[in-house]
Structure 1
């Protein structure tokens, strides 16, 4: 594995940690309400910059410290631009992530002046697996919330921030559903890496049985369709990650 390849994956890992794992709901709300007047926005950018600098330090390329500052500043510049409307918010979220990933790739390329062409298959497996498992936790949950249509009123009241609703909205079954989704994705990836395909079949069957029981009790068409789409998206993302790793 070349230094360029390892640096790129570690920077992506740091981005996932800063943008999803340690993302506080209160900070997101403040950034969207106050935008550039929000202190949380600058703390968010600083946190990202620190994570990137730690990666540079690990690779002994701290002479490029200014790139970490630039990557952190990008969060401060573009995060308040995200729109609040349902459709626009989804497009802005996807565009925001693509911009960050493109800049991370450009920074890695600049440091090592290396070509990124077809690098994925030569990346050290440990970092590939670590990044995949990290992505399948909260990042994947948020991605799924952006891909899903609006939640039906029978399931949950619509929130202002998709995937990061209020504390009241996140209590009870909402938290349980998200936790179950994370576990099923992690188990699915583990089964794929161990070539235990029968385990995936058992997992899908078991969840289908429980979901069918819930559907029979609720008798809500919208709720049924919403749950099925979410379940299929969850498994599809986990399976896709597994295919990329094998």
Structure 2
């Protein structure tokens, strides 16, 4: 079951956060674009599991389309909609992995036991960095003020900083060096102090965004650690206990 879920999670992350472009997101209300996304969901699942034809994957792609259609046409474009959408997708992955646990074992890649944990690590990295960026941006959209420090910074600088900090936290947790997270928090606090000092709105804006961004990366990293326990070990990643 866990190998099947790992491959499906990897496929989902590829379809939703790597192969789905901004052009597709902006035009997702068009049925053809929505259907194209469904095709990508099916193809990535087939590729990840090593199955050319498998009815559970068709059902999974159909469920993905239905969930996305509800979110898109229902106008659920905020953080709550994003989180509910992703939780619904994860629920379908768990369901398929539970009902058809031998999808991985009967697939083309079954003889490669190192692939599932590697897929989980890569999927977690994308979820921590790229998906975390989307979630943080949706949260901060409701807290934007005209005099935030981002208005005077480099174009896209805040997003890049967030991506790097989430990536570092994810890496630190996986390699068992969680003490480095405290150093990261302290370093960011010092570097940001001169920018937001004396500006309560800017300070609160930075604190909210930082705490959410750090928390997101921590949750993803811990979840990946827990999942890796049930998969063949990778020597480069210490197993959680």
| Superposition map of 1:203-242 within 5 A | 203-216=184-197, 219-242=198-221
Task: Measure how far apart 1:44 and its partner are.
Answer: 0.8
When residues 62 and 106 of structure 1 are mapped into structure 2, their CA distance, relative to the original with a 3 A threshold, is farther
| Superposition map of 1:59-138 within 5 A | 62=52, 64=54, 66-82=55-71, 89-112=78-101, 125-138=117-130
When residues 14 and 229 of structure 1 are mapped into structure 2, their CA distance, relative to the original with a 3 A threshold, is same
Conserved? CA contact 2:133–2:163, under 8 Å: yes
Distance in 1 (alpha carbons) for counterparts of 2:155 and 2:164: 14
Which one scores higher on RCO, CA 8 angstroms, separation ≥ 6?
2
Distance in 1 (alpha carbons) for counterparts of 2:159 and 2:32: 29
Task: Measure how far apart 1:20 and its partner are.
Answer: 1.4
Between the two proteins, the alignment pairs up a number of residues equal to: 212
When residues 226 and 39 of structure 1 are mapped into structure 2, their CA distance, relative to the original with a 3 A threshold, is same
Query: 3-state SS of the aligned residue for 1:228?
Result: helix
Correspondence 1:54 to 2:14: no
Task: Measure how far apart 1:18 and its partner are.
Answer: 1.0
**How far does the alpha carbon of each residue in 1:78-128 deviate from its partner, in whole angstroms, 9 at most, with x for none?**
3233268998733332222122111111112222279xxxxxxxx965444
When residues 238 and 109 of structure 1 are mapped into structure 2, their CA distance, relative to the original with a 3 A threshold, is same
1:142 to 134, 142, 157: 134
After TM superposition, the structure 1 stretch with the greater mean CA deviation from structure 2, 76-85 or 134-143, is 76-85
Distance in 2 (alpha carbons) for counterparts of 1:224 and 1:131: 32
Gaps of 5+ in 1: 115-122, 157-171
Conserved? CA contact 1:186–1:238, under 8 Å: yes
**How far does the alpha carbon of each residue in 1:34-68 deviate from its partner, in whole angstroms, 9 at most, with x for none?**
x2x442111111111111111232xxx5552x222
Conserved? CA contact 1:45–1:73, under 8 Å: yes
Gaps of 5+ in 2: 104-114, 226-239
Task: Measure how far apart 1:225 and its partner are.
Answer: 1.1
Conserved? CA contact 2:128–2:221, under 8 Å: no
Conserved? CA contact 2:129–2:217, under 8 Å: no
Q: CA RMSD in A?
A: 3.1
When residues 12 and 155 of structure 1 are mapped into structure 2, their CA distance, relative to the original with a 3 A threshold, is farther
Q: Report the TM-score, using the length of structure 1 for normalisation.
A: 0.73
Conserved? CA contact 1:44–1:75, under 8 Å: no
